[in-house]
């Protein structure tokens, strides 16, 4: 809960401004005190009356006003956190260069509070070198970012630049104002391992790494120090340490080198690998009839067995009901198990959505609806944060 915490919501001019109304509502529901500052162009997309109705007072719109002599310094000093959502390329550019010719840029220049930026723009603008430079400057100045996501943009375009969802922005705000993270470290494994048969072929599985990467991103957003051991080359935000691996043995070696407070093992690790790896490509004419398999190391078991081991979250991708996963949660000694049925539509490998159940160590099952993988990551982290708060 953001009990009475003071949040300034700065809304700039993009179509995504309408989503900020939901964010304002969620902040109020979370107990925060909210003041809204709107740019002139934001008011082209959403009316000040909408925010006034949600937060109970009219938004600030002008740098110069008869009532408030200096609204920018008042907001800057009052805020414990400033959220800029949506943040246009122009707002980002002004902040990066210390310009202060309007209410929002002047407030940003005047504040000592942390600032969370939720960029929203077309992909071309997001990828422009000037924007990238500005983002780098703001990151090194300590500004925090949430998103942008990939998806549908204004005018029907699709690409990176879509503003983060209100729930993602809320969770990033909570991570800043009430961090469970407190410098704790997290290991996340992601993707499917590939076990070579010869230099060309491998035994693998359909895991894309999307779920594990979403978990790593959300952990970093909440302020945890994240190491991601992954077989996937999906893009990863700066600040996350990435160890790229291919096989179960490589994944085990990478994990052995990390001593995390929390381990989330979302990787689909091969249970078996070929006993021998041919050094030359196997030829059809040689007629390989079978491949001898040997067991791979159980990475999860090795973490659970550590003295003073981490809070451990396992995954169980099954093709049947939840019962087997409940048994697995008990057997494996994990603190939490995330179950999904990969045969269900929209749930499993390669999709952007997932329908999971969370299984507690006592076998308690909590079924979730079909959600985006980033929403699943948020729900999962809410439960991990609760475990952290109860144990550490």
Q: Does 60 bind ligand C5P (CB under 6 A)?
A: no
Q: Does 89 bind ligand C5P (CB under 6 A)?
A: no
How many residues interact with ligand C5P (rule CB under 6 A)? 14
**Spatial separation of the C-alpha atoms in residues 331 and 10, rounded to whole Å:** 49
Q: Does 314 bind ligand C5P (CB under 6 A)?
A: yes
**DSSP for 139-164?**
HHTT-EE--PEEEE-GGG-EEEEEPP
**Spatial separation of the C-alpha atoms in residues 60 and 142, rounded to whole Å:** 25
**Spatial separation of the C-alpha atoms in residues 120 and 102, rounded to whole Å:** 19
Q: Residue 30 Cβ, how far from ligand C5P at the closest point, in Å?
A: 31
- Tokens at 152, concatenated: 């549908």
CA 126-130-131 angle, to 5 degrees, is 30
Nearer of residues 7 and 299 to ligand C5P, judged by Cβ: 299
Q: Residue 268 Cβ, how far from ligand C5P at the closest point, in Å?
A: 7
Q: Residue 232 Cβ, how far from ligand C5P at the closest point, in Å?
A: 14
Among 298, 360, 368, 382, interactor with ligand C5P by CB under 6 A: 298
Of the candidate spans 13-21, 35-43, 68-76, 312-320, the one that interacts with ligand C5P by CB under 6 A turns out to be 312-320
Which residue among the candidates 97, 149, 205, 341 is catalytic per the annotation?
A: 205
Do 54 and 86 touch, CB atoms closer than 8 A? no
**Spatial separation of the C-alpha atoms in residues 189 and 15, rounded to whole Å:** 36
Among 82, 164, 248, 262, interactor with ligand C5P by CB under 6 A: 248
Do 223 and 239 touch, CB atoms closer than 8 A? no
Q: Does 316 bind ligand C5P (CB under 6 A)?
A: yes
Q: Residue 316 Cβ, how far from ligand C5P at the closest point, in Å?
A: 5
**Spatial separation of the C-alpha atoms in residues 37 and 20, rounded to whole Å:** 12
Q: Does 229 bind ligand C5P (CB under 6 A)?
A: no
Query: Which residues ranging from 169 to 198 are in contact with ligand C5P (CB under 6 A)?
Result: 189
Is 205 part of the annotated catalytic residue set? yes
Alpha helices by DSSP H, listed for the chain, are: 17-29, 48-55, 71-78, 89-96, 103-110, 123-127, 129-140, 166-177, 210-221, 248-256, 299-304, 323-332, 373-391
Among 63, 190, 262, 265, interactor with ligand C5P by CB under 6 A: 265
CA 358-218-297 angle, to 5 degrees, is 60
Nearer of residues 14 and 314 to ligand C5P, judged by Cβ: 314
Active site residues: 205
Residues that bind ligand C5P (CB under 6 A): 189, 248, 265, 267, 269, 271, 296-300, 314-316
């Amino acid at each position: 809960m953001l009990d009475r915490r003071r949040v300034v919501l700065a809304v700039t001019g993009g179509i995504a401004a309408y989503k900020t109304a939901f964010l304002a509502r969620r902040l109020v529901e979370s107990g925060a005190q909210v003041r809204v500052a709107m740019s002139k162009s934001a008011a082209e997309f959403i009316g000040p009356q909408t925010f006034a109705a949600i937060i109970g007072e009219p938004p600030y719109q002008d740098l110069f006003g008869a009532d408030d002599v200096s609204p920018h310094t008042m907001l800057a000093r009052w805020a414990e956190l400033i959220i800029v959502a949506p943040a246009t390329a122009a707002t980002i550019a002004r902040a990066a260069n210390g310009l202060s010719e309007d209410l929002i840029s002047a407030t940003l220049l005047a504040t000592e509070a942390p600032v969370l930026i939720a960029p929203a723009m077309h992909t071309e603008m997001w990828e422009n070198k000037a924007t990238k430079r500005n983002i780098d400057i703001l990151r090194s100045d300590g500004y925090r970012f949430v998103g942008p996501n990939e998806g549908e943009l204004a005018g029907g375009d699709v690409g990176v630049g879509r503003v983060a969802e209100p729930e993602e922005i809320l969770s990033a705000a909570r991570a800043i104002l009430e961090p469970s993270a407190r410098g704790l470290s997290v290991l996340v494994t992601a993707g499917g391992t590939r076990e070579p048969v010869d230099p060309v072929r491998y035994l693998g599985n359909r895991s894309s790494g999307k779920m594990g990467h979403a978990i790593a991103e959300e952990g970093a957003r909440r302020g945890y120090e994240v190491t991601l051991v992954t077989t996937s080359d999906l893009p990863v935000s700066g600040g996350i340490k990435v160890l790229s691996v291919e096989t179960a043995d490589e994944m085990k070696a990478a994990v052995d080198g990390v001593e995390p407070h929390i381990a989330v093992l979302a990787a689909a690790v091969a249970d078996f690998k070929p006993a021998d790896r041919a050094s030359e490509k196997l030829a059809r004419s040689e007629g390989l009839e079978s491949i001898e398999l040997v067991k791979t190391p159980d990475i999860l078991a090795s973490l659970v067995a550590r003295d003073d081991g981490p809070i451990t979250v396992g995954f169980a991708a099954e093709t049947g009901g939840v019962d087997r996963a409940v048994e697995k949660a008990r057997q494996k000694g994990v603190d939490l198990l995330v179950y999904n049925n990969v045969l269900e539509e929209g749930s499993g490998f390669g999709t952007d959505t997932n329908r999971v159940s969370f299984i507690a160590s006592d076998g308690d099952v909590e079924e979730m609806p079909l959600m985006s993988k980033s929403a699943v990551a948020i729900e999962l982290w809410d439960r991990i944060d609760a475990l952290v708060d109860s144990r550490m």
